[in-house]
């Protein structure tokens, strides 16, 4: 009798053990399934985020390309005054009359000798010859700290900014036009052929000339 009871207990224990093992296995399978589902959901979200990011990036690139391809061009202008080799005043002309706002233009990508600097007068005359009496178009870049419109000027379709550097009548203004290698190429060619200001010895870059002049003025003020 005792033996039968022990066998019964053993069977019960075995059944309980099987139930526990089965429960553990089912729990493990359920937990694994839940984690796999979470991974799939997370991966799906990441893919969507990446796709959205790619779309935004693509839109941004297209927007930049559009701005580069389609710069703001203002047509129908004529020159009023040539201040020096890189600064002019222009105004729109309609039906033979000057109308609208007078624009003070600081020519982009180039820097001409100052009026008080060697070759300053020749540089101004070279620019005057290129723009006087011509139909001018203006490719606006930005505004400088003095409120002038920084721009490329086209005279009857010719890029005046490049022409001034090409003929040695102005420098490539590297500080503000680093990416415009065409100016650098024109300047190197002008140097090699000794055109314009490069035909003279001891020339000084206008930005260095301005710094020296400013330093000299500051020194005189301190000495007083």
The confidence score (pLDDT) of residue 223 equals 66
Residue 176 lies in a domain: yes
User: Does 119 reside within a domain?
Assistant: yes
Question: Per the residue annotation, which of 104, 139, 148, 184 is the catalytic one?
Answer: 148
Tell me what pLDDT residue 55 has. 59
Residue 114 exposed, middle or buried by CB count within 10 Å (0-12, 13-18, 19+):
buried
Whether residue 160 contacts residue 130, with contact meaning beta carbons closer than 8 Å, is answered with: yes
**β-sheet bridge partners, residue 111:** 171
- Is residue 171 one of the residues assigned to a domain? yes
Note down the domain range covering 198: 73-204
23 in any annotated domain: no
Confirm whether 157 is domain-assigned.
Answer: yes
Whether 51 is covered by a domain: the verdict is: no
Residue 20 lies in a domain: no
- Count of domains for the chain: 1
Could you tell me if residue 62 is inside a domain? no
Q: Which of 114, 124, 162, 163 is catalytic?
A: 114
Per-residue pLDDT reduced to its tens digit, 53-74: 555 555 555 555 444 556 788 9
Give me the pLDDT at residue 18, please. 79
Q: What is the pLDDT along the chain (224 residues), one digit of tens a residue?
A: 555 555 656 667 677 667 777 766 766 665 665 666 566 555 555 545 555 555 555 555 555 544 455 678 899 999 999 999 999 999 999 999 999 999 999 999 999 999 999 999 999 999 999 999 999 999 999 999 999 999 999 999 999 999 999 999 999 998 889 888 899 999 999 999 999 999 988 888 999 999 988 888 776 666 66
Question: What is the CATH classification number for the domain harbouring 90?
Answer: 2.40.50.90
What's the rounded Cα separation, in Å, for the pair 180 and 154? 17
Catalytic residue selected from 106, 124, 162, 163: 106
pLDDT at 102: 97
In angstroms, the CA 56 to CA 177 distance is 29
The reported pLDDT for the residue numbered 179 is: 86
Does the annotation mark 114 as catalytic?
Answer: yes
Q: pLDDT at position 183, please?
A: 94
pTM above 0.85, yes or no: no
């Amino acid at each position: 009798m005792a033996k039968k009871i022990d066998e019964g207990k053993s069977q019960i224990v075995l059944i309980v053990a099987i139930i526990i093992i089965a429960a553990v296995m089912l729990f493990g399978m359920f937990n694994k399934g839940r984690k796999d589902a979470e991974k799939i959901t997370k991966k799906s979200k990441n893919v969507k985020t990446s796709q959205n990011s790619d779309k935004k990036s693509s839109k941004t690139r297209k927007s930049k390309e559009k701005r580069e391809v389609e710069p703001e061009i203002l047509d129908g202008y004529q020159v009023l005054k040539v201040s020096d080799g890189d600064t002019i005043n222009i105004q729109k002309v309609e039906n033979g009359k000057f109308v609208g706002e007078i624009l003070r233009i600081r020519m982009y990508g180039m820097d001409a000798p100052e009026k008080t600097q060697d070759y300053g007068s020749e540089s101004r005359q070279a620019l005057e010859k290129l723009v006087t009496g011509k139909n001018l178009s203006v490719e606006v870049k930005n505004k400088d700290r003095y409120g002038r419109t920084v721009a490329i000027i086209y005279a009857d379709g010719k890029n005046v900014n490049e022409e001034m550097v090409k003929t040695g009548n102005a420098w490539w203004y590297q500080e503000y036009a680093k990416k415009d290698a065409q100016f650098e190429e024109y300047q190197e060619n002008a140097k090699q052929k000794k055109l314009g200001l490069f035909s003279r010895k001891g020339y000084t870059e206008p930005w260095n000339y301005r710094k020296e002049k400013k330093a000299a003025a500051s020194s005189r003020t301190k000495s007083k």
